[in-house]
Each structure stands twice: as structure tokens, then as C-alpha cells.
Amino acid sequence: MEINIEKKYEPTLLVGGYMIDEEEFNYSMEELDNLAKTCELDVAGKMRQKIKKINSATYFGTGKIQEIKEFVEANDIEMVVLNDELTPSQTRNIQETVGCRVIDRTLLILDIFARRAKTKEAMLQVEIAQLKYILPRINIMSGNFNERLGMRGPGETKYELDRRRIEKRISLLENELKTMVLNRKTQRKRRMKNEVPIVSLVGYTNSGKSTLMNTLLDYSIKKDTNKAVFTKDLLFATLETTTRQIVLENKRKFLLTDTVGFISRLPHHLIKAFRSTLEEITEADLILHVVDISNPHYDRQMKVTKKVLKEIGVQQIPILDVYNKIDLFDSLNIGDGVFISAKEKNNIDDLINEVSKKLFKHYKTVKMTIPYASGHIYNYLKEYAYVTKEQYLDEGIEVTVELSDYLYTKYKHLIQ
């Protein structure tokens, strides 16, 4: 089931209102323009207004709605996009007055997510968010929307039937998603058992997280050309949570996880649907907060990312700010962190050193003698630890090895 905006509308009008923070509003309107272009909409005009309060019936007052109507009629506007989430009644009332289709910021973002979703889990999450958005708007979204749901006849005459079908579909999808989440939790437990630390990449959409993942994969001594992740200069190019193993030259390993990018006013339907995916971040040993330093609004984007991290329960996990795209930015006197260009591979060694300091600071270098009868311990250490020296003696294999706290405690009886 899809609710995609199916064709390129010509032309489209973007409309927004603000009450206090005009600078924040200007930034959100700039984002709305980028979102619209990502959906291949032809932006023919923008309108804005400072408002004292939101009109419960039409969002704006009657004067502004009339102004929008006149602009729509004079410029053959086919769609109006409002820079906020509208209630079902607001959408219906504005639509009836201005005489063309009206959508809000939430539906625009949902459309982008629907286009980007590739894996089964991402598709489930997006469809759940779409259906929950549609549910209170069934009587507005008649006709084409009901056809896409596989229904017949005029939607409004089948309102209750449509509602029950959507509720049943949501329940079915949520149960299917729960099964996937349980499977992923099992995989996480297996990783934790193997004592491989986890590093999560987080950041604003299009900050360069996936490019950084591919660059770090290039620095791994164990390379797999099939493991590269999709990258493109697009909003929300990555929706899937992707995990790859990075093996450093000293054989220290960590798992690197790429996550969906954030954006201001991310629809609550999406946050809820993707919560199970985002919660993987809370299991990380280190978070790399990737920041597009070339973006003039990078400080606002950092605040949005940190707000979302707080909302999903990230606490007491070390966060390293990684300022990306320094090849597009001159001044670097902006704060603590690592300054890199993932695309040009500048300062990646510095980043790896910082990651190693934080992940492996408790590692201890010890000597162990492993009896030949316990060859499985030797094999395990060769796989999951850094063996720097080994010697075959009469009583067993003597190794010099770096151990994590967990492995140190586990094999303490073998340490010389």
C-alpha cells in the first residue's frame, strides 16, 4: 500500500506560518523547499505569515486563506504544501476553499520515506506510519486513496469498513515488525556475547553518514566489496539500519551501524514506527555524531539530532562529534571533535585513533599459556582478540594478547 505523490505537480505553492522564532521558521521553510524538490514538485511560489495563534478550522485566518486561493487561481496551482502537520478538518476546509489538493509537511516526508524504503523492515515501518496518518483522514482521502487500498466505490459511504480494514492492517504489520525486532535482538545478544564493541553513526539527513561508513570499510583490513552501503546526495538516502564489521590493522574489531538521518519536525508517526530501529543506538558503546560542517545551519541540525537521541533514551553513551565535509568549509574553530572529509578521506586516521582510544582504553596486554587440550580458547582469541606474539612450549601455547575486561576476567586463570 502506498500513498506516494505519483506525478510531478506543476506548479506547487509552499505556505508556512510562525509565531515567535522567525529564524527557525526561515530554516524550516528552506527545508520544506528541499523536501518538495526531493518529491519532484515544481515549487512555483512561497507564502508566509506571522500568526498570533493557529486557527482550529483553517490553520490561518480567513484573509490569508483567501490570499492563497487567489494565488492558486492566478497561477494554476495544483497543490498547496503547508509547513506543519494539519488536522483532518483543517486539510478538508483549506482544500474546499482554495480549490486544489492540500497536503502537509508530514505527508511530504512520508512520501520520501516510501520512495527510499528498500528492505522489508523499512517498508513495514513506513507503511505503519502511513496508515496511522491516513486513519483519521479517511473521509478526506477518498477516491484515489481507496483505490490504492484495493477498495471499491466512494470512500465516504464505506467509512467504517475502510477504518476497520486499516486498523486490521496496522495490527498485522505491527505483529510482523515485532517478529523482526525480536530476531534483531537475538543477533545483538550474539554480538554482545562475542564482545565486539558497537559504534553507531547518527546525524542529520544528508550529513554523510553512509559515505563515512564506506570510507571506514575501505580502512578495514578485511574488505568485502559487496558490503558497501548506498550513498547519494539526497534527503533520507538511507532508511535501513546497516551493520558492518571494521577490522583495524592491529586486528581490533568493532561493529559500525548506520541509521536513518534526522530532520526537524520529524513526524511522530515515523519516530514511533522507527523506534525499534532507532533503539539500536541505545545499545552502542560509542556514538559518532556526524555533522555537515559545510551547512550554514549545522548548529541547528546538531540540536535536532541531540534532541532525538534524548527522546529515544540515549544516556551515558560516549558521543564523539565528527565534523564532516571540511573540504567544503574553511574555518575549523568551532568546537571539540574530529574534523574530516569522508568523501575525500581527509583525517580518517585521526578519527580511527579517537575511536580506538574510546573503545579499547580498558584493554590489557598480558601473557597467557593455553594448554594444547584447550585449543578452542586459542582459536577464540585469534578471532576476537589481538594476539601480538605466540610461542609453542611443552605445556602449551604461550601468547601475548590484548584483552578486554570481559576476556581478562574470563581467562584470568591462564594469565602468567
Mean pLDDT of the chain: 83
As a whole number, mean pLDDT of residues 39-44 equals 90
Judge whether residue 363 has pLDDT over 60: yes
As a whole number, mean pLDDT of residues 77-84 equals 94
pLDDT, tens digit, 9 for 90 and up, residues 240-296: 677 888 988 877 888 898 887 788 877 777 777 777 667 778 888 999 999 999 988
Judge whether residue 387 has pLDDT over 60: yes
What is the per-residue pLDDT for 315? Answer: 82
Report percent pLDDT > 90 for the chain: 39
Judge whether residue 300 has pLDDT over 80: yes
As a whole number, mean pLDDT of residues 115-137 equals 85
How many residues belong to the chain?
A: 416
Task: Indicate the SS3 state at residue 234.
Answer: coil
Judge whether residue 223 has pLDDT over 70: no
What is the per-residue pLDDT for 343? Answer: 92
Those residues whose C-beta lies under 8 Å from the C-beta of residue 11, and which sit 6 or more positions away, are: 42, 43, 44, 45, 75, 76, 77, 78
pLDDT, tens digit, 9 for 90 and up, residues 163-203: 888 999 999 999 998 888 787 777 666 655 556 888 999 99
Phi then psi for residue 318, to 5 deg, are -60, 135
- The residue that leads in pLDDT, 151 or 374, is 374
Report percent pLDDT > 70 for the chain: 84
**DSSP sequence for 146-159:** HHHTT--S-GGGGH
- CA 165 → CA 139, 144, 148, 169, distances in Å? 14, 16, 13, 6
Cα 236 vs. chain centroid, distance in angstroms?
A: 7
Residue 278 in grid coordinates: 532507532
* Burial of residue 335 (number of CB atoms within 10 Å: 0-12, 13-18, 19+): exposed
Instruction: Tell me the C-alpha distance between 400 and 390, whole Å.
Output: 6
- Taking residue 148's Cβ as centre, other Cβ atoms within 10 Å add up to 15
pLDDT, tens digit, 9 for 90 and up, residues 309-332: 888 888 889 999 999 999 887 666
As a whole number, mean pLDDT of residues 354-370 equals 90
Judge whether residue 154 has pLDDT over 60: no
What is the per-residue pLDDT for 240? Answer: 65
